Structure formats: C-alpha cells, structure tokens
Amino acid sequence: MGRGICQEARRRGHTLRECQAGRGERPGPACDREEGPPCPRRGRLQAAARPRKSSYKSHTSWIYDVLQMSMHTAQHVVSALIESKLQLPTLAWSLTQHPAPSYVDLPRALTPAEVQLIQDEANRLVFEGRRVHVEVAELQAGEAGIDTGDADDALAGGRAAGRGLPSDYTGGVHRVVVVDGVDRSPCCGTHLPSLASLQTYLLPPPPPGASAPVRHHFLAGPRLLTHLGAVQGLLARTAGALSCGPPEAPERVALVVDESKRREKRVEEVERQLADALGAGLAEEMRAWTAAGGAGEWTRYVGRTDDTPTALPFLLSISSAFAAALPEAPDAPHGYTMLLSSSPSSQTPSTTTVVLLFGSDDKKVKVVGEELKKQFKGLKGGGRGTRWSGKYTGVWLPEREGKVAATILQPST
Ligand SMILES: [Zn+2]
C-alpha cells in the first residue's frame, strides 16, 4: 500500500513530509470534530469543550489545541503501557474539559504499585524524549471498514479490536499515530511531535473491588502544571485558615474535625439538659398557676433569642420536656396552649423566626395556628395533632409580635 498525503493536507497544500510529521494538518474525519465517524480509539473530544471558532485561529485557540494535543498523546502512551505491561485493554477514554484530569476506563482497578509502575514507565519515555510521528496511507478500493470499532468488539478482542477503521470511515486514508518503540494506533487526532514535555501523573487508583469499568484519571504536560498550581492554591488557603504551614495542614484539619465532633456532642448534651430545665420550669409555672386558683386553660408565650441552625428541634425538646414534667394525676388540669419562638440575635427583614405551637387540645392548636397565619403575613406553617410549627420571615420582637401572639393564645370567653 503506497503512502500518500491525506485529503485535508492536500487541500491545504501541505507536503507529504508535513502530513507525516503531524504538523499543521487536520486530516479527514478528525475525532476532535463535532461530526464524523468515531476515532478508532473510540474517543472523541467533546464538542462542547471546544471554544467557539472565530474566522481566524486565535492565540487562545492555539493554546487550547496544544493542551488537548498533550493530553491526547499522553493518553496513547498511558493506554499502550497499561496494555503492554498489565495486559489490560482501554475500554473507553476521554480527554475531558481543561483543566480536569483526563481518564481511561479499565476492566479493573489498578493497584497503587501498578499505578506507580505505569507512571514511572511513562516518565522514562518522556525523559528519553521519544518521538511521535504520523504515517498516512491511502486506502485502496474495498479497504474501508476493517472493523466496526464498537465497544462489544473491544471487550471481546481487547484493545487490538479497536485498531482498525470504523465501518463508516470515509476518509480515504489510513492514518496511524506512532510513538517510537511504544505504540502504533490508528488515530485521527492531532499529536505533539515528541513526548519531551509530557511528564505524566496518574491520580491514586479507586479502591479495589469497584465495579467495571473502573475509571483512572491522569494528567500530563501543561494540564499537569495547571493542576499543580490549583492544588497548591487550595493547600495554601487551607494552611492559611489554620495558621500553619502546608505540611501540617492534614494533621491540623484532622484535629479540627475531631474537636468539632466532640464539641457538637457536648452542645447536644447541654442543649438536652437546657431543654429539660426549661420544660420543667414551664410545667412548674403551670402548677403554681393552678395552685393559685387558676382555672380552665393555661396559655403562655415564650420568645427565645438563639443563633442555632436547629431552632425547631430545640423547641420540640422543650415541648417534650414540658409534657413529661406535667402532673400525672388524672384530675390534674391539663388544659394548656403554648407558643415558643426562636429568633436570631441580629434580625433583618429577611431573617427567619421559628415558632412552635403546642397544647392539650388539637382542635384549639389548629384554630390558633390558622389565626396566627392570618395575623402575621410573613408566617408560613402547619401541623398535625397537638403540634403546629411555622417560619416567620421578618423581624419578630417578643414585645411586639410576641404580645399579639400571646393575645391570640388566650381562651375565648
Ligand atoms: Zn488518538
């Protein structure tokens, strides 16, 4: 089969040498196009990832191409090494959108030692500056469609199954990307002429036992440097927030998390004791009121100021403690309706006050709840049985809104 230049290179007036070197040409059905047959390596650049093309090739577009080419060439090397060293085919791959790590999907998770092996091998080739070139041969009549290149074939026959051309390939040329001494793969994409700038880093593998296909991420060349800069920035910010050096950051974060868990547990315990005390105090108030000759229904409004993010659970704890502390005698006057509110210490028209209404008579609770909603336009809520809860948006002052609410609670006579 004689070698020739690809149609696109011919159209652009490039020589055979330029075409084979893989410089300045975008042959046939390129896998980085939006349309066209699939790349024999079964990957294609996501169309959305490409910047919008203007009428001229801008500088940023050129940089973008270099970034994508770097990752594509590195992907060939990573896939080839995983296959030759570990006998594992690449089931799928994606260059992803810059600056996210690219990935290859494998039939199983690599071990950390295997990841290290592939990374070391890749960087040995990089250190040697292995050359990359493109070989293009014109297809003779009837040569198109050597294999289908679909995923099932790849699973059955390994990576080699994808080395032919897709059946719908119409490019007229057979284009092979060659990494000297490492890999020969049919590919329509553009590549760097050398591995020299493609230092490669494989991210730690997923835990063993993950179901296939297992995704392994990697970075190379400029994208690796971008990633390094981003990670360094994150680490510096974390260390700054913890007032320590970057090396101490992981231990310091672990310490902070541990302390936070213990503090949370302690706050929970203190809140439970406080709710018990408040509930018991209210029950005692009701008992005193009864002892002093109070008859019928006892009503009470309590407005709290609390910056807790969990106001309702705390108010519910108070209501439970109150119910538990009530006298148990069957003839005890249990008729009561109570409203608790919890507002933040600094209020604005957009802050929220949580209200909890509860009582001994579910019908009364329902009526009062509806009445509260009518009275306060910023209040939304509902309930079931003897409890009703809601959220009020706006400024809630105990001596203003609280006073009005307390009036609504009182039994109609
Ligand atoms: Zn390729």
Amino acid found at 225: L
* pLDDT at site 28: 35
Q: What is the mean pLDDT of residues 236-258?
A: 96
Q: How far is the CA of 72 from the centre of ligand 1 (A)?
A: 6
pLDDT at 68 over 90: no
pLDDT winner (highest mean) among 1-5, 31-35, 169-173, 176-180: 176-180
More confident site: 412 or 201: 201
Among the residue ranges 6-10, 152-156, 236-240, 285-289, the one predicted with the least confidence is: 152-156
CA dihedral 197, 199, 200, 204 (to 10 degrees): -150
> What 3-state DSSP class applies to 31?
coil
- Share in percent of the chain as helix, strand, coil (round to 5): 45, 20, 40
Percent of the chain with pLDDT over 90: 61
- Cβ atoms of 323 and 286 within 8 Å: the answer is no
Q: How far is the CA of 56 from the centre of ligand 1 (A)?
A: 25
Among the residue ranges 128-132, 313-317, 349-353, 406-410, the one predicted with the least confidence is: 406-410
Q: How far is it, in rounded angstroms, from Cα 177 to Cα 195?
A: 13
pLDDT at 167 over 70: no
Q: How confident is the model at residue 157 (pLDDT cuts 50, 70, 90)?
A: very low
Q: Is the peptide bond before 89 cis (omega within 30 degrees of 0)?
A: no
pLDDT at 285 over 70: yes
Q: How far is the CA of 98 from the centre of ligand 1 (A)?
A: 17
Q: How far is the CA of 318 from the centre of ligand 1 (A)?
A: 66
pLDDT at 162 over 50: no
Q: Is 54 exposed, middle or buried (0-12, 13-18, 19+ CB in 10 A)?
A: exposed
Q: What angle do CA 295, 297, 303 make, to 5 degrees?
A: 125
Residue appearing with tokens 């690599």: 110
Q: How far is it, in rounded angstroms, from Cα 154 to Cα 83?
A: 13
Q: How far is the CA of 188 from the centre of ligand 1 (A)?
A: 6
Query: How many residues are given for the chain?
Result: 413
* Domains of the chain and CATH, by start: 7-233 (3.30.980.10), 256-409 (3.10.310.40)
- Cβ atoms of 25 and 12 within 8 Å: the answer is yes
β-strands 387-393, 379-384 pairing: antiparallel
More confident site: 143 or 323: 323
Sheet containing strand 132-138, strands side by side: 132-138, 173-179, 183-186
pLDDT at 150 over 50: no
Reduced 3-state DSSP string for 249-301: HHHHHHHHHHHHHHHHHHHHHHHHHHHHHHHHHHHHHHHHHHHCCCCCCEEEE
β-strands 352-359, 298-305 pairing: unpaired
Q: How far is the CA of 89 from the centre of ligand 1 (A)?
A: 15
pLDDT at 155 over 50: no
Structure tokens that stand for 194 in this block: 């050398």
β-strands 92-94, 352-359 pairing: unpaired
> What 3-state DSSP class applies to 78?
helix
**Greatest Cα-to-Cα distance within the chain, rounded to the nearest angstrom:** 113
Q: How far is CA 268 from CA 164, 259, 279, 307, in A?
A: 65, 14, 16, 15
More confident site: 195 or 292: 195
Q: What is the mean pLDDT of residues 290-314?
A: 91
* pLDDT at site 142: 58
β-strands 214-220, 102-106 pairing: antiparallel
Q: How far is the CA of 41 from the centre of ligand 1 (A)?
A: 6
Q: How far is the CA of 187 from the centre of ligand 1 (A)?
A: 4
Residue appearing with tokens 């995983």: 82
pLDDT digits (tens, 9 = 90+) for 42-62: 333 333 334 444 444 566 677
Q: How far is the CA of 153 from the centre of ligand 1 (A)?
A: 18
pLDDT at 330 over 60: no
pLDDT digits (tens, 9 = 90+) for 231-241: 999 999 999 99
Q: How far is the CA of 23 from the centre of ligand 1 (A)?
A: 15
More confident site: 107 or 326: 107
Residue appearing with tokens 């009530």: 326
pLDDT at 153 over 60: no
Q: How far is it, in rounded angstroms, from Cα 314 to Cα 275?
A: 7
Provide the whole-model pTM: 0.62
pLDDT digits (tens, 9 = 90+) for 178-195: 999 999 998 888 899 999
Q: How far is the CA of 42 from the centre of ligand 1 (A)?
A: 8
* pLDDT at site 175: 85
Among 221, 205, 218, CA closest to 101: 218
Q: How far is the CA of 351 from the centre of ligand 1 (A)?
A: 56
pLDDT at 3 over 50: no
Q: How far apart are the first and last CA of the chain?
A: 106
Surrounding ion ligand 1 within 5 Å at CB are 41, 187, 189
